[in-house]
């Protein structure tokens, strides 16, 4: 054995150990996770669409809340206005009330940890869909500084890890605020949120046979609706569309984007619902999509789409819409309430 060969292997081993140590130290520093407990291979499978919630009790109310963005005090005030909060406690019966947060409940505001704890302490009453900001928080804890390649896994998409600008790293890119929240919450709390929340929630109001969808960015006609045989979905959208789209290619619905220039023939996605219900042959189901995400548009209440992001993080309002069955009228009526927010 030559002298240089004798020292070559030990040098390589030392280099590998050094690089590994630096990598683990970086992960621990950025995310607050010990290298002995890195759970990347065991991070939970996130439900794209959990089982439909069927509402049969006429006393059962549904409350949908727009982008909270870590504004815990405004969230509590909103619940007080709906008479769901009294003497420091959530007073609603989980069997007659369900709250859904429409994504982006973390980041930007001062109290992301309080909001997360509140959700996890009241899981029976409070549901949540994940927004683009929650996705970035989760990606930041799995892939600090893009150094690793651990994807998020969903029931409809098992390799969600954009890796270049064409795949949305320009918009789905964890930033300092996401790393900060990831470190503040920690891996175990984020794991609990990933297990509890989903990407979409679907409600069947059996008293009227109406369908409500809760989603962060939006969804299109036919998404998650069964075909005539009742055994397959007509269309399963991409996760990126559900959490981040604002525009869609009117001629190719699989092309969506955050900005109008991202797609050809781009129009606001909710305009497709207006056209869907203008057809001569009316759809069988009365469907409404409740969403957040589009703070620029603000409160946008249309017949079949309800946009509830009214820019709370920018000093606007935190908006909510409650569905309550009116026995005399034989239909659900809605109650809109808003709380003024402090600019973050």
* Length of the chain measured in residues: 344
Q: Which of 202, 204, 213, 201 is nearest to 56 (CA)?
A: 204
In the chain the beta strands, taken as DSSP E runs, fall at 53-55, 61-65, 85-86, 89-90, 97-101, 126-128, 152-154, 157-160, 200-205, 210-215, 247-249, 252-257, 266-268, 286-291, 300-301, 305-307, 309-310, 317-326, 331-340
In this predicted model, what pLDDT tens digit does every residue of 115-146 receive, in sequence order?
A: 999 999 999 999 999 999 999 999 888 877 66
The residue that leads in pLDDT, 299 or 233, is: 299
**To which H or E segment does residue 74 belong?**
helix 72-81
pLDDT > 50? residue 37: no
Across the range 45-71, mean pLDDT stands at: 96
Looking at 3.60.21.10, 2.30.110.10, 1.20.120.10, 3.30.460.10, the CATH number of the domain 45-340 comes to: 3.60.21.10
pLDDT of residue 146: 63
In this prediction, residue 159 carries a pLDDT of 81
Mean pLDDT of the chain: 84
pTM of the model: 0.85
Of 55, 54, 51, 65, the C-alpha closest to 126 is 65
Q: What is the pLDDT of residue 1?
A: 46
pLDDT at 158: 83
In terms of pLDDT, which residue wins out, 333 or 18? 333
Confidence bin at 336 (pLDDT 50/70/90): very high
Residue extents of the structural domains in the chain: 3-38, 45-340
Bridge partners, residue 323, by sequence: 62, 334
Residues facing residue 77 across a β-bridge: none
CA distances to 113, 169, 170, 241 from 152, rounded to whole Å, are: 22, 14, 18, 15
Q: What's the pLDDT band for 278 if we cut at 50, 70, 90?
A: confident
Confidence at residue 71, expressed as pLDDT on a 0 to 100 scale: 97
* Interior angle at CA 197, CA 203 and CA 216, nearest 5: 70
Collapsed DSSP state (helix, strand, coil) of residue 277: coil
Instruction: Identify the bridge partners of residue 226 per DSSP, sorted by sequence position.
Output: 233
């Amino acid at each position: 054995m030559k002298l240089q060969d004798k020292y070559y292997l030990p040098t390589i081993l030392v280099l590998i150990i050094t690089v590994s140590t630096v990598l683990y130290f970086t992960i621990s520093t950025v995310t607050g996770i010990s290298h002995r407990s890195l759970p990347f291979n065991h991070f939970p499978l996130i439900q794209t669409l959990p089982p439909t919630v069927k509402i049969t009790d006429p006393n059962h109310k549904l409350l949908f809340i727009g982008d909270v963005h870590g504004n815990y005090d405004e969230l509590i005030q909103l619940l007080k206005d709906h008479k769901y909060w009294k003497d420091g406690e959530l007073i609603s019966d989980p069997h007659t009330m369900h709250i859904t947060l429409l994504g982006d409940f973390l980041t930007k505001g001062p109290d992301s940890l309080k909001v997360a704890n509140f959700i996890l302490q009241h899981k029976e009453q409070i549901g949540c869909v994940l927004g683009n900001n929650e996705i970035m928080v989760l990606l930041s804890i799995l892939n600090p500084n893009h150094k690793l390649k651990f994807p998020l896994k969903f029931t409809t998409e098992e390799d969600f890890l954009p890796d270049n600008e064409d795949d949305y790293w320009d918009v789905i890119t964890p930033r300092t605020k996401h790393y900060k929240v990831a470190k503040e919450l920690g891996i175990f709390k984020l794991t609990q949120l990933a297990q509890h929340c989903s990407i979409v929630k679907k409600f069947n109001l059996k008293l009227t046979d109406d369908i409500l969808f809760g989603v962060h960015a939006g969804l299109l006609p036919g998404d998650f609706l069964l075909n005539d045989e009742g055994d397959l979905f007509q269309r399963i959208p991409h996760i990126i569309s559900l959490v981040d789209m604002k525009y869609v290619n009117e001629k190719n619905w699989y092309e969506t984007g955050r900005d109008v220039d991202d797609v050809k023939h781009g129009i606001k996605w909710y305009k497709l619902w207006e056209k869907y219900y203008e057809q001569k042959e009316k759809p069988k189901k009365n469907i409404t999509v409740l969403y957040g995400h589009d703070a620029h548009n603000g409160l946008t209440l249309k017949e079949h789409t309800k946009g509830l992001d009214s820019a709370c993080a920018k000093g606007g309002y935190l908006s909510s819409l409650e569905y309550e069955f009116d026995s005399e009228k034989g239909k659900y009526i809605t109650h809109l309430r808003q709380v003024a927010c402090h600019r973050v």
